[in-house]
Amino acid sequence: MKKIFFLSLALVSLMACTKNENPLLVEQNTPYGVPAFDQVKIEHYLPAFEKAIAENEAEIAAIANNPEAPTFANTIEALDRSGELLNKVVGVFFNVIEADGNDEMNAIAAELSPKLSALSDGIILNEALFQRVKAVYDERETLGLNDEQMRLLTETFKSFANNGANLPEDKKVRLKEINQELGLLELKFSNNVVAETNAYQLFITDEAELKGLPESAKAAAKEEATAAGRPDAWLFTPKRTSFTPVLQYCENRELRKELLMAYTTRGNHDNENDNKDIIVKTMQLRVEKAQLFGYTNPADYILADCMAHDAKTVDTFLESVWGPSLAAAKREAAELQKMMNKDLPGEKLQPWDWWYYAEKLRVEKYALNEEELKPYFELNNVRKGAFGLANKLFGLNFEKLEGMPVYNPEVEVFKVTYADGSLVGILYTDYFPRAGKRPGAWMNNICNQYIDAEGVDHRPVIINVGNFNKPTAGNPSLLSMDDVETLFHEFGHALHGLMSKATYQSLAGTNTPRDFVELPSQFMENYCYHPEVLKTYAFHYQTGELIPEELVAKINKAGTFNQGFVQTELLSSSILDMDYHKMTSTEAFDVNAFEAESMKNMKMIPEIITRYRSTFYNHIFTTGYAAGYYSYTWAAVLDADAFAAFEETGDIFNPEMAAKFQRLLEQGGTRDAALLYQEFRGKDANPKHHMKRCGFID
């Protein structure tokens, strides 16, 4: 039950405040009930959290101490609907700190972390409250509940049981200590990654060192340097938008090495931002926590509520896809080595060479140069393509809203409606990097969808965040192929949140098992380079010309190119994640040695660096994907099979299949994920579609 124990980002309507009032604590007259981001100041957060926490504690006490006999309504529903004010404040603060944070907000987060952890523990470990939940759960078969109510009751009981309600008192005390410490460690880890990313700056003053780098990349680096007070130079950083073009195109091998190492060694420099000790302490606490609950390791504890259920199932799954991926990567490495031998006889292919020679090989084999494609992938057009796809499949319309309150001028806001004009939700997009934004791309709920006690359907407020190339003086934001896939991916998550039709917000939208939640996002990626979709958005930013058919053919012909690298890089991170979370000892360990041993055991080839090295692996040490990074590949099997269902009809926009998939999205976590998929497809997913898409089988 994520709402109670993970403090969901639910946010309901806020309305007008006077100059001296805290905008987080009073009603505000904003369009569609969005947060008054423009009125919120740093000094508002702590007082708002203090009041919201106190209010939530009073609500919980009222439920726990209710003299009436426990019922579904006065206990289970009441819990789901509690914390309204806290959810408002959380919805603003944690979205802003991720996308536009600063040192002051980080300090507030550090102060809040133990308080929020204590609140969560105070709910889950409240014996009187648990006994009421258990009483309702024990009578569940006699209550006449519908499917969603039964799901809420079951998930609520499991959340209490799996988070310590059944523990003896001494273990409850220790669990509270562990949870508080883990919260602070996760916060520190994330802050260190951001600090390391921002701290590194490489100024190049000789343009000859940038030979081969596209003019657009040089222009962006020049603007970054000018903004940093060095108009005489070009500035490069460990942000992907900065160093990726260097890896792909720059002839300067030492520069490629320098920037890749700067990226892959973040948090591993024995300085104030070093994350190695944090990882050790985090894993010690996670092992201890799992063993408090009678599990041997954190993986089995964490996976109990996922589709996979346990570490053994995940290991078996990863082994089944690792072998073909690694074999393909070895073939690709040999091919790149041959190409490199022409330039540098006797030199061994290194990780900083892979992207460079893969790009050259793509041009040689498919005459496909990614720089040739970028002019057709202007950010606004790509977003229109994603919007158009949602209209074609699900009948959604998107209208840009002007003058909306935002936390940064770069943020844009859209109203999403069905064909009849009824409101689906509000979508924020925030696509450009800035100093206070964490790396990567993500979707968040600012406000979950739910139906209140009066039957009013509160529509969600959703945000997509990215770190794409900023426009320069001469060019708009032009996306790489990977960026296009990322935009469609996060938009798929947004649709999952926007189209929700649940009663209870803890079951709405993306509140599903982790190894199911990536299905809607990865499903949308199948469309982004399909010829029928490309013709809706791939227009040259200067001429307005539609992408030529020969370029479209090249894109699709090269669809399986370099997939050994892509899958091996991804899966190695998944295996590393599982290796950490299958730990059973609370002894200290050497992080770099542990990682090296993991790579050795999986027989990782040295020409590829795992996608996330330990010291900047935010997914598993801060963002809730611990023992869960495998879910991207698990969901890839689902999404490839789901797209095959459309292809088998001969129409990738098949209305009947689209209606079935829409129904899957609308149900969120209200039903078992495996049953939802079987209802959509009529059978379990077949892994062959994923293997075929990667080019590993015919």
The letter for the amino acid at 164 is G
Predicted pLDDT of residue 525: 98
Predicted pLDDT of residue 474: 85
Residues 337-363 have pLDDT tens digits of 999 999 999 999 999 999 999 999 999
Which one of the listed residues 378, 490, 569, 607 is annotated catalytic? 490
Residues 607-661 have pLDDT tens digits of 999 999 999 999 999 988 999 999 999 999 999 999 999 999 999 999 999 999 9
Whole-number Å distance between alpha carbons of 262 and 243? 10
Q: Is 257 in contact with 350 (CB distance < 8 Å)?
A: yes
Residue with tokens 């031998």: 341
Predicted pLDDT of residue 538: 98
Chain centroid offset of residue 600 CA: 28
DSSP 8-class letter at 273 = T
Tell me the two tokens of residue 214: 């596209």
* Domains of the chain and any CATH numbers: 2-166 (1.10.1370.40), 200-264 (no CATH), 276-368+563-621 (1.10.1370.10), 375-557 (1.10.1370.40)
Residue with tokens 């393509």: 385
Whole-number Å distance between alpha carbons of 511 and 692? 30
The band of 698, judged by pLDDT with boundaries at 50, 70 and 90, is confident
* CA dihedral sign of residues 190, 191, 194, 199: negative
Q: Is 626 in contact with 286 (CB distance < 8 Å)?
A: yes
Residues 293-326 have pLDDT tens digits of 999 999 999 999 999 999 999 999 999 999 999 9
> What are the backbone dihedrals phi and psi of residue 617, each rounded to the nearest 5 degrees, phi first?
-85, 75
Predicted pLDDT of residue 554: 95
User: At 237, is the secondary structure helix, strand, or coil?
Assistant: coil
Predicted pLDDT of residue 13: 31
Give the chain's count of helices (H) and strands (E): 28, 9
Q: Is 249 in contact with 262 (CB distance < 8 Å)?
A: no
Predicted pLDDT of residue 17: 43
Residues 431-463 have pLDDT tens digits of 999 999 999 999 999 999 999 999 999 999 999
Predicted pLDDT of residue 15: 31
The band of 2, judged by pLDDT with boundaries at 50, 70 and 90, is very low
Buried b (16+ CB within 10 A) or exposed e, 55-69: bbbebbeebbebeee
Which of 459, 426, 457, 461 is closest to 446 using CA atoms? 461
The letter for the amino acid at 482 is D
Predicted pLDDT of residue 33: 92
Q: What share of the chain is helix, strand, coil (3-state, %, to 5)?
A: 60, 5, 35
Which of 465, 388, 609 is closest to 100 using CA atoms? 465
The band of 1, judged by pLDDT with boundaries at 50, 70 and 90, is very low
Q: Is 507 in contact with 672 (CB distance < 8 Å)?
A: no
Residue with tokens 């062959």: 688
Q: Where are the extended beta strands (E) located within 418-509?
A: 423-430, 442-447, 450-451, 457-458, 461-465
Does the pLDDT of residue 3 top 60, yes or no? no
Whole-number Å distance between alpha carbons of 191 and 278? 12
Which of 382, 416, 424 is closest to 398 using CA atoms? 416
Residues 396-419 have pLDDT tens digits of 999 999 999 999 999 999 999 999
Q: Mean pLDDT over all residues of the chain?
A: 95
Predicted pLDDT of residue 623: 86
For the chain, how far is it from start to end, CA to CA, in angstroms?
42
**Residue 207 is among the residues annotated as catalytic for this protein:** no
Q: Is 563 in contact with 692 (CB distance < 8 Å)?
A: no
What is the arithmetic mean of pLDDT over 244-256?
Answer: 98
Whole-number Å distance between alpha carbons of 421 and 496? 19
Q: Is 233 in contact with 225 (CB distance < 8 Å)?
A: yes
Q: How many residues belong to the chain?
A: 698
Predicted pLDDT of residue 70: 98
Whole-number Å distance between alpha carbons of 412 and 408? 9
Predicted pLDDT of residue 28: 76
